[in-house]
Amino acid sequence: MDPDDQTAPQRGAISPRKSFLLWAVFLAFVGGGFYSGWLSVPRILGWVEAVAPASLAQSVLPFVQVTNTNSVTPDWKNLERVNLLVLGVDRRPDEKNAPTRTDTVMIMTLDPYSKTAGMLSVPRDLWVPIPIKQGTVIHDRVNTAHFYGDWYDYPGGGPALAKETVQYNLGVRIHYFVLLDFQGFERIIDALGGVTVDVEAPIVDNQYPTSDYGVQRIHIPAGVQLMDGEHALRYARTRHADSDFGRMKRQQNLLLAVRSRLLQLDVLPKIPALWSEFHDSVKTDMGLAELLTLAQIAREVPEENIASASLDSNYVTPTITWDGAAILVPNRALMRRLINQAFFDSRRHEEAAKIEVLNGTAVRGLAGKAAQVLETNGFPEVAVGDADALHPVTVVQNLNGKNYSAGVVASLLRVPRERVVNIPRPPGTEADIRIILGDDAR
């Protein structure tokens, strides 16, 4: 079944105004109004693929839908970059509790340190390995990760496996997920009184899906026009007139249009009062404290520091599987180059830390594997060797005051932050950061 042929479930009665304000909070502030246009200066975005122990108390209210995905809050004290995985689903009324695929896969990111933000769109047909459990990987489209997470009872369900799959394939640490309902988005646009969108070219789709498993013909003329919720959703979902790449661009354009309208409203002070309605439109593992923090950060990001990009036809190769399914095979070298250039980590570059990994276990080659993880995630020329003795646990030694890089290294190797220790650099040692792998290393 084509995921486009799914329709969102019917929801309970919700005040359109409240629904609108909640989505306004997310799109205008957490989304930061991601400016759709490539910014060529790499310094604008520094992508930190890090997870840190909780430094901000969770304040998730009991009536909010929160999925436990074993998330750990970012290091707010040290202004760590925060990455969110945005998933758009559209279920039919009779599929409300059934596993479902995601029509939209985006990564949104905010950097409190450099006051930058960005968005990366991932095509739903990207063919990737999906780690459904320890030691078991299957290959399928990236939009099926959410389905498999629910189907196989993955810890944390579909959103958790979607997060792990994106991390696994893009090398980008995902702190939180936000699962969006398309029907809720339609209500927002109507509550706004519509949004103004400049449609570049006429759109004709003879196979636009309907809620009764049929199709219909839609036509969206070119030019600047005011769209209500129904037409805005069609604009964001249609893909038969061009491709999934065109749809990703339209979704970004629509976010811009929504942002333009929402920034006229002062919704930030209303977040706590509206939080109780959040679960009807959005499912997340983010708490109210995190939402408030991200909203404030996003307001401080100037427009010139906001970028967006897509894994479009320059980074994938279309092909057909043995059973006739159309998929997109990733060019991983080009994808990595895009991520490194578009989401350049200026703080890591400033520290330019030299790193060595020492194997303190009986497992051969473990240091090389850890070094490969670090090199894949932007640390060049990691040295490897053997420790003088076996170690029960992994530690990260910060030998030269490279605090930021030491924290990122620990996060990438999933070392608890309390095991990052500051010690003087021994004579004759060139490394700034030394990782000694222990028996807990994976």
3-state secondary structure of 428: coil
- Decide if 3-342 and 352-437 have a common fold: no
Question: Please, where are the H alpha helices in 263-318?
Answer: 271-274, 288-299
Average pLDDT over residues 259-283: 59
Boundaries of every domain in the chain? 3-342, 352-437
Q: Do 102 and 87 touch, CB atoms closer than 8 A?
A: yes
pLDDT tier at 255 (50, 70, 90 boundaries)? confident
Residue 243 pLDDT > 80 = no
Q: Which secondary-structure segment (H or E) carries 135? A: none
pLDDT digits (tens, 9 = 90+) for 40-83: 222 222 222 222 222 222 222 222 233 334 455 676 766 777 88
Q: Do 33 and 263 touch, CB atoms closer than 8 A?
A: yes
- The CATH number assigned to the domain with range 352-437 reads 3.30.70
Rounded to whole angstroms, the Cα distance separating 176 from 72 reads: 9
Among the listed ranges 13-22, 295-304, 395-404, 425-434, which one has the minimum average pLDDT value? Answer: 13-22
**Token pair for residue 11?**
């929801």
**Token pair for residue 302?**
């100037």
pLDDT digits (tens, 9 = 90+) for 413-437: 889 888 999 999 999 899 999 999 9
Q: Which CATH number fits domain 3-342: 1.10.150.300, 3.30.310.50, 3.90.1150.10, 3.40.630.190?
A: 3.40.630.190
DSSP-derived letter for residue 381 is S
Question: Of 170, 114, 109, 113, whose CA–CA distance to 145 is shortest?
Answer: 170
Average pLDDT over residues 282-300: 77
Rounded to whole angstroms, the Cα distance separating 288 from 295 reads: 10
